[in-house]
Structures are given as structure tokens and as C-alpha cells.
Amino acid sequence: MWKSVASNALTLFIVVLVAMVVALGWGREQFTGPGPLAEAICFRVEKGDSLSAVSRALEERGAVSDARIFRIGAEYSGKAGGLKFGSYLIGAKASMETVLEDLTSSGQSTCGREVNYRIGVASAEVVLRELDAATNRYVEVVKFDPAAEAAPSAYVDVAEADDIRWRVTLAEGVTSWQVVDALKRADFLSGEIAAVPAEGTLAPDSYEVERGADRAELLAEMAKRQAAVMAELWATRAEGLPYDTPEEAMVMASIVEKETGIAEERKRVASVFINRIEQGMRLQTDPTVIYGITKGEGVLGRGLRQSELRRETPYNTYVIDGLPPTPIANPGRLSIEAALNPEKTDFLFFVADGSGGHAFAKTLDEHQKNVVKWREIEAKAGAEASGVQD
């Protein structure tokens, strides 16, 4: 009798064990296999949401097939307590494993709405965009310049929402005064700015911030990044450069930045100015003269006058020898790299070539011919513009 009971108990145990193994295998397949979503969706995790609430919401939205399996998978993987607040793009057929990774990894929203405050050389603009989950592309909702117009209702109505990502982006070549002036008008930031940072010390880059972030702390982060870029590139600089300190290199980088927007030209432009210094020539670059007039506080908005080109200021490189005393803008990484690792050329001159780039020359005679070509291009463009207006 006892043998029969023991045999039956063993059989039952084996059956239960097999059932458990089958159930675990099925559950794992459900957790790692393709999910039920036919199209991508934007899913939001609210502040303080529990794993239970999130798993139920995912099941209701059709992102997971079984909320219980999602919770078990989260517990088993040790990520049950790692949910991050934000809005996330969940792709079509995303597995529960992938969904869990999306909701617990970076903590940066991957969909929803974004406000990017873009600080440029000529102006600053606030751009509100919203991600279209179906196409995974941001669609512009509204754009405005806070210095020139009141915030439109499309921005005001959503500015207090929790699901907005905030970003501040600095264009290459902006001055420190322009950055500070723009940040003071950013209604999503807080705090005072005690002084304008030294020219050249802020890194043109994109900065993700939170609503209410401190302006001074943001400037400190910009300075930290720029210092890190210079330290990295200074360590690998070319030999024989005509400047001895990172500060002098930053001055050259800012001139290169203002002279060309073509990335491929920057090292060549740097070579021209370095060649001039080595041959005892003056730099003779208009952007430094302009900075001496504006002090970086806005755009000149007109051509330089002959009297301004002759006037002696610390920044007039038609009059002074060598580099001006400070940078004339905040250069980007490529311009800093160009100043520290320029091309090896014999070029001493360059002028616009009508394509957005420049024509380079080794001799004054060659340069004057390039200038004539540029004047012809300018004249033709002016004539065509007059014809259109007529």
C-alpha cells in the first residue's frame, strides 16, 4: 500500500514539475517573443506609478499580452523598481523584455513633446515639436522668437505639462553675451546670471534640462564641456603652432569659426592665418573688426566702413599685429580642432567663391584674380535680384 502511495506521489510530483517547466518556458517565450503591437505607440509613465499600474496600462494599450507575465519578468530581471518617469516610444512588435528595457534604462523620454530653445548667431527661437509615433518623426507645432513676439497660445497651453522635454541648443559661433541675453528670456529657466562668461568658454552643444533649471548652473555645464573639449584636443595638438597656450588657441578657433561655416574648410582656413602669423603678416579678418565694434552684443547688420577698417582697436587685425586679446565667439569642436591641427599649406589668402565656400590663393596676384571673380558673382546676383524686384 505504501509503495503504491509513494509511486503515485512521485508520479504527481513529476507531472507538476513538467507542468512548471512547460509554464516557465511558455512564460519566457511570451516575455522575450514579439509583442502584440501592430503600430508604434507613445506610452507615458507617470511620477510615482507602480509596476502593477504600469503593467495594466500596457496591457490595456495592447503593448503587452499579459500584465502578470510582464510583472514576473520585471521581478525576475531585478528591474521591478527601476521604472523611470517620462514618455516612451514603444515600437511595433516590441517584446515585453524590450518594453521593460525602454521604461527602465536611460530615464530620458523618447517620445511626446519637446521644446528646443535654439540660440543662434542672428536670433534665438523656441521650437515646440511633437513626436508622431507612427513615423517616429518630430512634427513642428509652433516656433517663435521670445525677443520679438509674445509666446503663442499653442506653446502657453502646454508649457506646464509634465511630459515635455526641455532642451537648450547653442549654435557654433554665438557670443557669450548672446547666450546670456537669450537665457534671460527663457521662461522655463530660473535664477540670476551674475556676469557674462568669458568669450570662448561656452560649448556650442545641445543641453537637456528640466523645467525650472538654474541658468547659472546651465552656464557652468556649458563651460565645463568647452574646457573638456579644449583639454582633450590640446593634448594632441600639432607641433610648431604660433601660440603657446590653450587661451590663444581658442582665439584662433573663434576666428576660424566666424570665417567659414564649411566643416571641410576649417583646417585650411586655420592654415592661412597661421601662415600669415609665421610670415609676419597681419591677419586682416573682418570678423575681429566687427567684434571690436559690437563687443559681441548682437549683429552689426551692415558692411564695414573704411573708417572702421582703419580705426585702431584691440580687435582690428588690419591694424594690430598677431591675435586679438580674446576670442570673438564661442567656437565649436571642429574649429578648435582646426586651430590645433591645421592643414599644411602655402595659402596666404582666401575669398568667397560663390558656392558657400572659399577660393584659396598662395600669392597676392592669384588672390586678386579670385577677388575679381567674386565681384563678378556679386554683381550678377545683384542684377538678378533687381530684375526680380522689377
C-alpha span between 129 and 115 (Å, rounded): 6
Q: What is the largest CA-CA distance in the chain?
A: 118
Q: At the fourth CATH level, which superfamily is domain 28-104?
A: Endolytic murein transglycosylase (3.30.1490.480)
> How buried is 25 (Cβ within 10 angstroms: 0-12 exposed, 13-18 middle, 19+ buried)?
exposed
Question: Could you tell me the CA-to-CA distances from 267 to 145, 172, 335, 339 in Å, in that order?
Answer: 34, 16, 8, 7
Domain edges within the chain: 28-104, 113-230, 236-384
Give the model's pLDDT for residue 104.
Answer: 84
Helices (H), 135-260: 153-156, 176-184, 215-234, 246-259
Q: Quickly state the pLDDT bin for 388 (edges 50, 70, 90).
A: very low
Q: Is residue 15's pLDDT more than 60?
A: no
DSSP 107: -
pLDDT at 325: 96
Q: What are 151-168's pLDDT values in tens digits?
A: 888 888 888 876 788 999
pLDDT-derived band at 390, boundaries 50, 70, 90: very low
pLDDT tens-digit map of 227-239: 999 999 999 999 9
Per-residue model confidence (pLDDT) at position 33: 82
Q: What pLDDT digit, counting tens, does each position of 222-274 carry? A: 999 999 999 999 999 999 999 999 999 999 999 999 999 899 999 999 999 99
CA distance 142 to 151: 10
Please provide residue 189's backbone torsions phi and psi, each rounded to the nearest 5 degrees. -110, 165
CA 168, 174, 177, 181 torsion: positive or negative? negative
CB 195, CB 142: distance < 8 Å: no
Cross-strand partners of 168: 117, 207
